[in-house]
Structure 1
Amino acid sequence: MKLKPYIKTLHLWLGLVSGLVVFVVALSGSVLVFEDELGPFFDPAYYNTPEHAAAAKIPTDILIENALQKHPGAVLQNLYTFNDPKRSVLINLTDINGEQRVISASPYSGKILKDTLYEKRFFTIVTKLHRYLLMGDTGKAITGAACLIFTVLLISGMILWWPSKLKNLKQRLKIKWKASFKRVNWDIHAVLGFYSVIPLLLIALTGLIWSYRWYENTMYYIADGTPKPIHKVKNRETDSYSTRDNNNFYTSILKETDSLFTYRGDIRLIRDLKGKNSILVLKENLEAPIPNIRDMVYFDMYSGERLQIKRYDELSAGDKIRRMIYPLHTGSIYGYPTKILAFVVCLIAAASPVTGLLIWTGRKKKKNKAFLRQKAESHKPRKLRRSIPERQSV
């Protein structure tokens, strides 16, 4: 029994069902590939500071205090400091309304350069469009299902692309630009799909991590034999007593983290809003051959005491694979070469629903024309043959 006709039908209907979602997700993903490069153009105040980079930096606690004074009742959630002396410090607050604010502050003057709701930032909107279609949990369910369908489409598309005779393989490897529009459209859909299938499969399979907890746990079970571990450390203190200088509480934590790991790196501080877990500080190694190589330090939220150090080398295989998921998904794993590749294949993925729809509508029109022609032929009056009188027998 030949399977290709059934696979063709499956490929067609799955493509029609998921086409619009795949188009939106792939197109927004192509923009997110160059988020770090485009960010300074869309929102320079969140990236660069106007002060001279050679000046002495002021304590980070002053920056935090300035931000909190602007928003009474708000609490610190995240803090980002960067190795690049031209970068501003980013302070994430949760205000009294429960909304997140992103504040950019100069590390040299303490001046607040920009203050915006997290939800209104350009790349926040693009990310929410990419992951949730701007529809919250409902959108997440839709994009997750579309990602699964897209994986099936890539595999079924490869089966349909493969020629029944090897002598026809060469024709499937290039686009015949001088052919008719229908043929060129088919070649764009099939040939470009073939060349991009492996990176697109990698993007789709890594993207499922953000959609399904069972998928992420399966990855951990394969790598470690256990589900995803929880990297949290409880505070030791229950009151507001601090063994550190209150005026330099966060500054000293950041300095201690920086001295523990001597490589060049960007630092992120994460504070538990509920006050149960300790402060987590991560330093990303900018000297590593691939991104997202981070060491972790836990500090008591009240005393500032260092509780635990967790180096990247000590992580399980599952945790290390999980750290690689984001750079693999975005194409940042090996810098600009893989970013450009991810950008191109995302555009090909966005074009596939369009070219596929044109192939389907073209065939549908062809079938309709054939049906109408056949119907017209059946209604034509038949020519009557003359009846020849029988010869009378003598």
Structure 2
Amino acid sequence: MIKYLLRKRRKKESLFKYIMSVLHLWLGLLSSVIIFIVCLSGSIYAFKTQIENLIDSDVVYIKSNNSSKIAIDTILNNFENQFGGATNITVFKENNKSILVSSFSRNNIGVSAYYNPISGELLGTKNQNSIAFFDFILEVHRFLLAGDVGKFINGVAVLMFIFLLFSGFIIWLPKRINQLKKSLKIKLDAKFYRVNYDLHRVLGFYSILLLFFISVTGLYVSFHWVKNVVIVGLGGDSIVISDTNIALKASLSSSFNVLFDDLSTKENTVIKQKSDLQTLLIKTDSVLKYNGTKVIQLANENTKSININKMNTDNLLHFYVPDKIEFSIDGKVRKQELFTNLPLHEQFKLIAKPLHTGEIMGLPSIIIYFLISLVGCSLPITGFIIWFKKISKNNV
């Protein structure tokens, strides 16, 4: 078996490139199944919002007209009368979308309902089957359905994958500059094994930067030391975890939950605000003068504040970046957090999730991430075929 995992060093092959090639094979075989699962589940989850909106299209979308919209407080009252206390309200920037009101308890159990922004009537709730499906996909992507053990295996496999990207690039590098053109093309009219070989090398090269970026942002929410390296590298303070800092330890251990939950899980009872939300929305729009989706996080016993996050795409790259205004329950502005004014490491914390999933630039970047994730799925398969062909040839 060893001879299949430790090939002979080629003539004029550098020792460094030989070692990279052997490690590329070993780590590729070790991590191939996990990488395939992670990339496939990630590519499916990338379209979560679009698929859910398609399934719930009859309640998500409304006929757009020039009628004035009802006060958001009326919609909140309707929700509370029908389902109990709410935690989040989403007011989409598109005029043809309904308003989403949600409630989540400490057990992450709640309801998400869509309301007509003009009449205030209940249009329906989110499809429970689609919610269950994407919860399953996310559990596979994060934990491999094996809890903390699966999370650790997942993280180690992704670390291996990052090394595979580096070693793959070293192996790909042509010996001479005149061979570069050949290394950038797939010879589709060749035999199967040659096409497979080209697919592995060429697609791997073209996707290396994005796959590396997706992998690193995934590790950011998996391992404390990666989070620390990124934050310090971006100018923030080192995060120190000790037995006396249990709250921080718990916060970091649940970082995937924080980044991937569409709605915040509330540990505390929602408290009644003393000011009307419609006034707060008007105040928000007077400060943040652009058209963007607004998410209202209602007050609870812990924060005793109302946070309104507004998504801004009025920037050079049209990134979906959040600005936040924090209000007291009596409607006074406590704090304004404009994304552009935050230090770099704080900006990264806010956009780590959309950077990882591809949502950062909307549907165009989601499609790109989807295709790149499919390439990530293919690399373990094409790589295994290359290795299997070699051992089959040696057995002949």
Say yes or no: TM over 0.5: yes
TM-score, normalised relative to structure 1: 0.78
2:201 is aligned with 1:190: yes
Tell me, in whole angstroms, the C-alpha distance in 1 between the residues paired with 2:288 and 2:273. Answer: 24
Whichever residue aligns with residue 183 of structure 1, its letter is: R
Report 1:64-213 matches (<5 A). Answer: 64-71=76-83, 74-94=84-104, 99-116=109-126, 120-121=130-131, 122-213=133-224
2:342 to 306, 309, 315: 315
Q: Does the C-alpha gap of structure 1 residues 241 and 365 become closer, same or farther in structure 2, counting only changes over 3 Å?
A: closer
Identity, % of aligned pairs? 32
What is the correspondence of 1:367-378 to structure 2 with a 5 Å cutoff? Answer: 367-369=394-396
Contact 1:292 1:323 in 2 (8 A): no
Separation in 1 of the partners of 2:129 and 2:87?
A: 15
Q: How far is the alpha carbon of 1:84 from its aligned partner?
A: 1.2
Instruction: Give me the whole-angstrom Cα distance separating, in 1, the residues matched to 2:306 and 2:374.
Output: 40
CA RMSD of aligned residues (A): 3.1
Q: CA deviation at 1:268?
A: 0.8
5 Å-filtered alignment, 1:292-307, equals 292-301=320-329, 303-307=330-334
Task: Decide whether aligned partners of structure 1 residues 364 and 308 sit closer, same or farther in structure 2, where only a CA change above 3 A counts.
Answer: same
SS at match of 1:91: strand
SS of the residue aligned with 1:75?
coil
Per the TM alignment, residue 124 of structure 1 is displaced from its structure 2 partner at its CA by: 4.4
Q: Distance in 2 between matches of 1:132 and 1:180?
A: 39
Residues 295 and 310 in structure 2, CA contact (< 8 A), matched pair in contact too: yes
Output the CA distance in 1 between the equivalents of 2:371 and 2:173: 23
Check conservation: 1:101, 1:118, Cα contact below 8 A: no
Deviation at 1:212, TM superposition (A): 2.3
CA distance, structure 1, for counterparts of residue 159 and residue 99 of structure 2: 38
Q: Is the 8 A contact 1:91 1:102 kept in 2?
A: yes
Alignment partners' CA distance in 2, 1:130 and 1:89: 29
User: What secondary structure does 2:295 align onto?
Assistant: strand
Bigger drift between 10-19 and 338-347 goes to: 338-347
- Report how many residues are paired: 354
Q: CA deviation at 1:354?
A: 0.9
CA distance in 2, matches of 1:270, 1:159: 48
Q: 2:286 aligns with which of 231, 252, 259?
A: 259
1:278 aligns with 2:305: yes
CA deviation profile, 1:69-99 (whole Å, cap 9, x unmatched): 333xx43222111121111111120259651
Give the secondary structure class of the aligned counterpart of 2:387.
helix
Give the Cα–Cα distance (whole angstroms) in 1 for the partners of residues 89 and 339 of structure 2.
Answer: 21
Asked if residue 60 in structure 1 is aligned to residue 88 in structure 2, the reply is no
Q: Distance in 2 between matches of 1:330 and 1:157?
A: 24
Relative distance call for 1:132 and 1:56 in structure 2 (3 A) is farther
Cα drift, residue 112 of structure 1: 2.1
Secondary structure, counterpart of 2:123 in structure 1: strand
* Partner amino acid, structure 1, of 2:75: L
* Alignment-derived partner of residue 386 in structure 1: none
Is 1:43 paired with 2:56?
Answer: yes
TM-score by length of 2: 0.78
Q: CA deviation at 1:188?
A: 0.9
Q: 2:389 matched to 1:362?
A: yes
CA distance change for structure 1 residues 172 and 242 in 2, over 3 Å: closer, same or farther?
Answer: closer
Counterparts of 2:48 and 2:380 in 1: how far apart (Å)?
A: 25
Residue 349 of structure 1, CA deviation: 0.9
Q: Residue 262 of structure 1: CA displacement?
A: 1.7
Return the letter of the residue paired with 1:341: I
> C-alpha displacement at 1:274, in angstroms?
4.4
Whole-angstrom distance in 2 between the partners of 1:154 and 1:346? 14
1:316-346 deviation line (CA, Å, top 9, x unaligned): 1212233444444334555565444323222
The Cα shift of 1:119 comes to 8.4
Distance 1:208 1:251, change over 3 A: same
Larger deviation: 324-333 or 6-15?
Answer: 324-333
TM-superposed CA distance for 1:363, in Å, is 1.8
Q: Secondary structure at the match of 1:265?
A: coil
Query: Once the 2 structures are TM-superposed, how far is the Cα of residue 219 of structure 1 from its aligned partner?
Result: 1.9
| Structure 1 pair 129–89 and aligned structure 2 pair: CA distance change class (3 A) | farther
Counterpart secondary structure, 1:275: coil
- Secondary structure, aligned partner of 1:291: coil
* The 10-residue stretch of structure 1 (280-289 or 346-355) with the greater mean CA deviation from structure 2: 280-289
| Structure-2 change in CA distance of 1:37 and 1:212 (3 Å) | same
Deviation at 1:138, TM superposition (A): 4.0
Matched to 2:120, the amino acid is: G
1:333-344 equivalences under 5 Å are: 333-334=360-361, 338-344=365-371
Change (3 A) 1:219 1:82: same
1:255 Cα deviation after fit: 2.5
Distance 1:170 1:52 in 2: 52
Residues 56 and 126 of structure 2 are in contact (CA less than 8 Å); yes or no, is this contact kept in structure 1? Answer: no
